[in-house]
Every structure is written in C-alpha cells, then in structure tokens.
Structure 1
Amino acid sequence: MAIPSISELILLKSLWKQQPLSAREIHDQVAEELGWSYSSTRKTLARMLDKGSVRQSTLHGVQVYEAALEKVATLAAFAHDFGKRVMEMDTPLPVIMFTGSKLVDEDELSHLEQLLQDWPEDHGGAA
C-alpha cells in the first residue's frame, strides 16, 4: 500500500469520520489544521483521486468524495513505516501506543494489532 502524505491523511481522516463529503465540507473540517486555501484542498483531492485514495461521485448535483483507502489498513501502514524508518525497529510497534485514540474504536484497535503483528517483511509502501 502506498502511504498517503500527512496532508492526504488529514483529508482521509475527515472522510473516515463522515462520508461522502463535498470538497467544501472537507476543507471546512481541515482548514484550521492545515492552514491552507480551498484551492489547495481541491488540488490535493484531485491528486488523491488520481492515486485512487478517494472516490468521487455526484450526490444531489454536487461532487462528493469518499475514502477509497480502508482506515485500519492505512493506519497500520503508517505505523509500520514509522516503526521501520523513523524508529529503526524490526518488530511491530506495540498496539498500546494507540490506546486512547479518537480515531479507532476497540474493534479497529484489535484489527490494527493483528495487521501489525502479521505485517509481511516485503509488504509494499513502507520503503
């Protein structure tokens, strides 16, 4: 799995909480965190659409977006990449690091732990 950039992750997190959303709705949710213009949000969404990270459709005459990347698998890829590249660890990060996260519930936390434990050595995207 190709790992999204930090700004792409912020847009995905907005969509994982509620979808579908228009570009304006996404921008309104992330504007304070990213501190950029609406046109930057649109450009990032277009890039994500090209990469297959989001899907676009029309709802009531408005273009809306949905996350194409599954939340837990994407978070596992980030965690694996962080452990490997940043922390130089050969073992999975302990799932306790994610306890208390507002982004994942208990079931997702269990799934995340399983993904991290079973992560294949040659899994793509974590280079």
Structure 2
Amino acid sequence: MAIPSISELSVLKALWRQQPLSAREIHDQVEEELGWSFSSTRKTLERMLDKGSVRLSVRHGVQVYEAALEKVGTLAAFAHDFGKRVMEMDAPLPVNMFTGSKLVDENELAQLERMLHDWPADQGEAE
C-alpha cells in the first residue's frame, strides 16, 4: 500500500470523519491545519483521484469525494512505515501509543494492533 503524504492524510481524515464531502467542505476542514488555498486543496484531490485514494461522484448536482482507502489499513501502513523508516524498529509499534486517539475507536484500535503485529516482513519494503 502506498503511504499517503501528510496533506493527503489530512484530507483522508476529514473524509473518514464524514463523507461524502465537496471540495469546499474538505477545504474548510483542512484549511487551518494545512494553511493553504482552496486551489491547493483541489490539486491535492486531483492527485489523490489519480492515485485511487479518493473516489468522485455527483450528488444533487455537486461533485463529492469519498475515501477509497480504508482507515485502519491506511493508519497501519503509515504507522509501520514510521516505525521502520523513522524509528528504525523491526518490531511493531506498541498499540498503546494510539490510546486516546480521536481518530480510532476501541474496535479499530484492536484491529490496528492485529494488523501491526501480523504485518508481513517484506510488505511495503519496496514501495
């Protein structure tokens, strides 16, 4: 799985909280965090469409976006990448570092723990 950039992750988090959303609604949710213009949000959404990270549809005459990447799997890939590349750890990250997260509930936390623990040794290494 390709790891989303930090800005793409911000867009995905907005969509995981509520979807579908228009480009303007996404921008309103990420603007303060990312500090960028609406055109930057549009360009990021276009790039994410090309990568298959989001899906586009039309509802009531408005283009809206939905996350195409599943939340827990994406977070597991991101955490695995961080542990491996940044922290130079061979063992999975301890799941307690995610406790208290507003992004995942208890069931998702348990799923994340399983995914990180069972991560294949070579998955994501060549990406």
Alpha-carbon RMSD: 1.0
Name the structure, 1 or 2, with higher relative contact order (CA <8 Å, separation 6+). 1
Pair 1:61–1:24, CA change in 2 (3 A): same
- Local SS of the residue matching 2:120: coil
The residue correspondences of 1:68-83 to structure 2 (distance < 5 A) are 68-83=68-83
Structure 1 segments unaligned to the other structure (5+ residues)? none
How many pairs were matched up? Answer: 127
Query: Could you report, residue by residue, the CA deviation over 1:27-72 in whole angstroms, capped at 9, with x for unpaired residues?
Result: 0011000000000000000000000000000000000000000000
Given the two structures, how large is their TM-score scaled by the length of structure 2?
0.98
* Map of 2:19 onto structure 1: 19
CA distance in 2, matches of 1:126, 1:114: 22
CA contact (8 A) 1:81 1:126 kept: no
* Map of 1:108 onto structure 2: 108
Deviation at 1:23, TM superposition (A): 0.1
Structure 1 counterpart of 2:106, one-letter code: E
Pair 1:33–1:18, CA change in 2 (3 A): same
Identity %: 82
CA distance in 2, matches of 1:126, 1:70: 21
CA distance in 1, matches of 2:58, 2:75: 28
Deviation at 1:77, TM superposition (A): 0.4
Structure 2 counterpart of 1:65, one-letter code: Y
* Map of 2:57 onto structure 1: 57
Runs (4+) of structure 1 exceeding 6 A deviation are none
Given the two structures, how large is their TM-score scaled by the length of structure 1?
0.98
Deviation at 1:122, TM superposition (A): 1.3
* Map of 2:47 onto structure 1: 47
Structure 2 counterpart of 1:113, one-letter code: E
* Map of 1:117 onto structure 2: 117
